[in-house]
Amino acid sequence: MGSAGGRKPHAVCIPYPSQGHVTPVMQLAKLLHSTGFHITFVNTEFNHRRLIQSRGPDSVKGLPDFRFETITDGMPPSDHLDATQDVPSLCDSTRKYCLAPFRELLNKLNSSSSGVPPVSCIISDGVMSFGIKAAEELSIPQVQLWTASACSFMCYLHFSELKRRGIVPHTVKNFLNDSISENPIDWIPGMTNIRLKDMPTFVRTTNDEIMFDFMGSEAENCLNSSAIVFNTFDEFDHEVLEAIIACKFPRIYTIGPLSLLERQMPESEFKSIASSLWKEDSNCLEWLDKRKHNSVVYVNYGSVAMITERHLKELAWGLANSKHPFLWIIRQDVVMGDSAILPEEFLEHINDRGLLASWCPQDQVLAHPAVGVFLTHCGWNSMMETVSHGVPIVCWPFFADQHTNCRYACSKWGIGMEVNHNINRNEIEGIVKEMIEGHKGKQLREKALEWKRKAEAATDIGGSSYNNFSRLIKEALNCGGHAKQEY
């Protein structure tokens, strides 16, 4: 592989600085590297320190042609490296302050003394649209990776229409218990059976004005990109994808699930490169080895969602009372304003039947045959990973696009059951038993396995996502003659 003068194409990849965004951008960066790209992966200084803390200094050494760089996020200094930064403040800061340091980094990379090929393209997170501006200044290709769901992208594109119709802002205080939440939103192309409460949560309260504006404007900004990449596959989201192409933007590439497309890469060279901002506990895999097939409830709310102390205890006793084994990931910062401390009597009650961990290699956990159901916040990485491994879900969404994903999982994809947001132990006990033992759980598992087969077909050689990735390189990144044709 080579280009004019023997130089590799050089992709600069920059995610939004949160785990759920870093992971898919890293997956795409690795895929591009496997086809012959030189990669510069750009973390914020804060997340760079988190990565070193969780995985050690070797985690950011990279490879000769896969390097890590940093820029400031514009936020005040913080020593709390074991928690995600405040989301609204971080969003506001990245769009105001990140372009200048990113521009400086690109100039440094393009200098004759850098020792790397000139930057040939930019891959930026769908909510880091300053990457579009930077690419325009350099006259190079740029694509946006939308790291959330395609249906959420379509919702965000219609935030301005919600405002125009007077639907937001509204003055309802207890949104979910008010009839307004059930109002149908039947005018978004490619989306059916959507209610106001299924829209991304930033429509719910005037307290989310920053996020309502940020997400709506960043989605709109994606339309100024050379192309938009989605971590999904055609058959899974065909209606909304067709609507995006027809009504909003034709140049889209569906290349997911990224976790499955990674199967086509050589494995050994990437062992030293990972993106987890928390230290992973691999002991849980050994614990799963001792459990029966489809017997374990896996519980994880992702990297940002937070719950109350009451919810923590109700969930704990619901899991305990179900009598089924469970693996529960509890981040240190998962409880609002407090640490996640469970009653001693609960720990004595579950004995060896439950395993608690602070973080884990989720893709490996979901691939384990012992896992029978996934209790999830419905973040998009979790959705794609659970589909990739054929695991049905219990949906407990919290914020952003998670409610939209939950609605699709339960009413369209047929892989999930939703719990009441204000959960109680009896409901958790009942739904766990149904998912592991019951007829409904069996139906959902069969549907999840059906989607798994389709996801695998899409990412196999010659599948739709595999072919779309090749097209992305040739068409959007203008590297048809420079990158390897097989990966």
Residues involved in catalysis: 21, 125
Q: At residue 227, what are phi and psi to the nearest 5 degrees?
A: -165, 160
The region, left, alpha or beta by phi > 0 then psi within -120 to 50, assigned to residue 379 is: beta
If 0-12 CB within 10 Å is exposed, 13-18 middle and 19+ buried, where does residue 352 land? exposed
Residue 408, token pair as written in the block: 């699709």
CA 34, 35, 36 angle in degrees (round to 5)?
95
| Cα–Cα separations (whole angstroms), residue 18 to 146, 313, 463 | 14, 27, 30
> DSSP character for 6?
G
**What is the torsional sign of CA 181, 187, 188, 190?**
positive
CA 471, 472, 475 angle in degrees (round to 5)?
75
Residue 293, token pair as written in the block: 């097939």
CA distance between the termini of the chain: 12
Q: From CA 313, how far away is CA 318, in angstroms rounded?
A: 8
The region, left, alpha or beta by phi > 0 then psi within -120 to 50, assigned to residue 249 is: beta
CA neighbor of 481 nearest in space, from 140, 30, 11, 8: 8
User: CB 451: neighbour CB atoms within 10 A?
Assistant: 20
**What is the torsional sign of CA 15, 17, 21, 25?**
positive
CA 347, 351, 357 angle in degrees (round to 5)?
65
Q: From CA 147, how far away is CA 472, in angstroms rounded?
A: 16
Q: Which amino acid is at 57?
A: P
Q: Which residue has the tokens 């059930």?
A: 182
Q: From CA 205, how far away is CA 196, in angstroms rounded?
A: 12
DSSP alpha helices (H): ranges in 98-143? Answer: 99-109, 130-138
Q: How many CA atoms lie within 13 A of 111 on its CB side?
A: 9
Question: If DSSP codes are grouped into helix, strand and coil, which group holds residue 60?
Answer: helix
Contact (Cβ atoms closer than 8 angstroms) between residue 415 and residue 396:
no
